[in-house]
Amino acid sequence: MARSLSEIRERSRARAQARAAARAELKNTAYEIFIGALSILSIVNLLLVYLVAGDSALELVLSVMNALFSAIFLGDFLYRIFTAPSAMQYFFRGFGWADLLASLPFPQFKILRLFRLLRVFRLLRELGPRTVWTTLIHDRANSALMTLLLMGILVLQFGSISILYVEEDAEGANITSASDALWYTVVTISTVGYGDQYPVTNAGRLIGTLIIVVGVGIFGTFTGYLANLFLGPRKAADDAETDADTSAPADDADAAADEAAPPSIADHAAKGVAAGAVAGAVKAGAEASAPGAPIFAEDVPLSGHPDPASRDDDAERLRTLLAQQEETMAEIRKLLTSTAL
């Protein structure tokens, strides 16, 4: 039993260490998913190049997209190596060398993009699907931006291929080459719409409508992201200054915390002391009010013969004691009231 408990603790500790290492290596959940999706798409493009062999227009579109992927992956390699805790460990043990070779514009090295895909899968698996989903929900700005960037890349590739396939042989078409298709897609996504290239078929117009809708979403989200990026730090600083100005002193904060905290043993002890003091005062009052008890100074037996000066001193001391008793009872009532609240 003890061995099984120790094994469970060791497994939990190893699991926690693995998740901590994954978090340290993970740049951003949405960004990692974006890079993983691009890795899959780039590998799919390697297969499409062989499938469309002989069609120069489609080959040119895929070549342009592969060049774009190479630039993105090169930027990803530089980002990782400059932000890694250990650049040497990332390069040699984290397959950084494979990331570098896969980002170069050489077809022989593009298959090495599988290492990037495997790393993304490993990192996300270490975190767990629930953690990944929670992170994506809380980081809505980056998640939306990466999603729309991925959609933009997908639309740029498959929109260009589709519009070229539909319009290339149509009567009166002006989108007849790969450059025409790419130019039309880029201009439409950016919502510029020069009008020099346009579809003439119904299928082409439907594709153009979808590209316009995606383009509006991408640039609207990108504008909001930039606004949040530039205005966010200033807003955080203003919030920090406001919190510093409106914060209460330490004593007030401690008092508020004590009031909000549940009654402790010290609170119950204070209540007990107050109740005991009240009971003692009530008992003393009852004894003082008993028949035959001396109340005034004249009734108090004095040692020796009755001296008027001594009686006056005793009366003054009695009045002082009564005043002190009234003050004590007032304090006890105040304490009981605050304790009841």
The pLDDT-based confidence of 295 (bands split at 50, 70, 90) is: very low
Residue 163: predicted pLDDT? 92
Q: Which of 84, 118, 138 is the last residue of a domain?
A: 138
In this structure, the answer to whether residues 151 and 101 fall within a common structural domain is no
In this structure, the answer to whether residues 41 and 120 fall within a common structural domain is yes
Count of residues for the chain?
Answer: 341
Residue 123: predicted pLDDT? 73
Report the percent of the chain where pLDDT is more than 70: 67
Q: Tell me what the mean pLDDT of segment 279-286 comes to.
A: 48
Q: What is the pLDDT of residues 34-56, one digit of tens each?
A: 888 888 898 888 888 888 777 78
Judged against a pLDDT cut of 80, whether residue 129 lies above it is answered with no
Amino acid at 167: E
In this structure, the answer to whether residues 56 and 130 fall within a common structural domain is yes
Judged against a pLDDT cut of 60, whether residue 260 lies above it is answered with no
Q: Tell me what the mean pLDDT of segment 219-235 comes to.
A: 72
In this structure, the answer to whether residues 14 and 126 fall within a common structural domain is yes
Q: Report which of 211, 166, 175 is spatially closest to residue 191, judged by C-alpha positions.
A: 211
Residue 17: predicted pLDDT? 57
In this structure, the answer to whether residues 223 and 277 fall within a common structural domain is no
Judged against a pLDDT cut of 70, whether residue 119 lies above it is answered with yes
Residue 93: predicted pLDDT? 80
Q: Best-predicted range by mean pLDDT among 83-97, 163-177, 307-321? A: 163-177
Please, what is the angle between helix 129-138 and helix 140-154, to 10°? 100
CA 145 to CA 222: how far, in whole Å? 7
Answer whether 0.85 is exceeded by the pTM: no
CA 232 to CA 230: how far, in whole Å? 6
| Chain center to CA of 5 | 34
Residue 97 maps to a domain: yes
In this structure, the answer to whether residues 200 and 283 fall within a common structural domain is no
| Chain center to CA of 6 | 34
Residue 24: predicted pLDDT? 53
Q: Which of 104, 138, 172 is the last residue of a domain?
A: 138
Tokens of 211: 């590209």
Residue 55: predicted pLDDT? 79
Please, what is the angle between helix 29-51 and helix 140-154, to 10°? 10
The pLDDT-based confidence of 4 (bands split at 50, 70, 90) is: low
Q: Tell me what the mean pLDDT of segment 257-268 comes to.
A: 46
Angle at 272 (CA atoms; ends 269, 275), nearest 5 degrees: 155
Q: What is the pLDDT of residues 7-17, one digit of tens each?
A: 666 666 666 65
In this structure, the answer to whether residues 129 and 166 fall within a common structural domain is no
Judged against a pLDDT cut of 80, whether residue 215 lies above it is answered with yes
Residue 169 maps to a domain: yes
Residue 207: predicted pLDDT? 92
Taken in order 98, 145, 212, 191, the sign of the CA dihedral is negative
In this structure, the answer to whether residues 51 and 82 fall within a common structural domain is yes
In this structure, the answer to whether residues 102 and 162 fall within a common structural domain is no
Going from the C-alpha of 265 to that of each of 253, 261, 268, 334, the distances in angstroms are: 21, 12, 5, 21
In this structure, the answer to whether residues 156 and 40 fall within a common structural domain is no
Judged against a pLDDT cut of 50, whether residue 75 lies above it is answered with yes
In this structure, the answer to whether residues 29 and 134 fall within a common structural domain is yes
| Chain center to CA of 198 | 44
Q: What is the pLDDT of residues 235-248, one digit of tens each?
A: 544 554 555 555 44
Residue 2 maps to a domain: no
Residue 258 maps to a domain: no
Residue 22 maps to a domain: yes
Amino acid at 115: F
Residue 259 maps to a domain: no
Other CB atoms within 10 A of residue 232 CB: 11
Residue 238 maps to a domain: no
Q: Which SS3 state, helix, strand or coil, does residue 264 take?
A: coil
Tokens of 113: 């993009």
In this structure, the answer to whether residues 33 and 67 fall within a common structural domain is yes
Number of domains within the chain: 3
Q: Look up the CATH number of the domain holding residue 159.
A: 1.10.287.70
Q: Which of 88, 117, 138 is the last residue of a domain?
A: 138
Residue 207 maps to a domain: yes
Q: What is the DSSP letter of 190?
A: T
Range of the domain at 276: 268-340
Residue 313: predicted pLDDT? 73
* Residue owning tokens 């153009």: 208
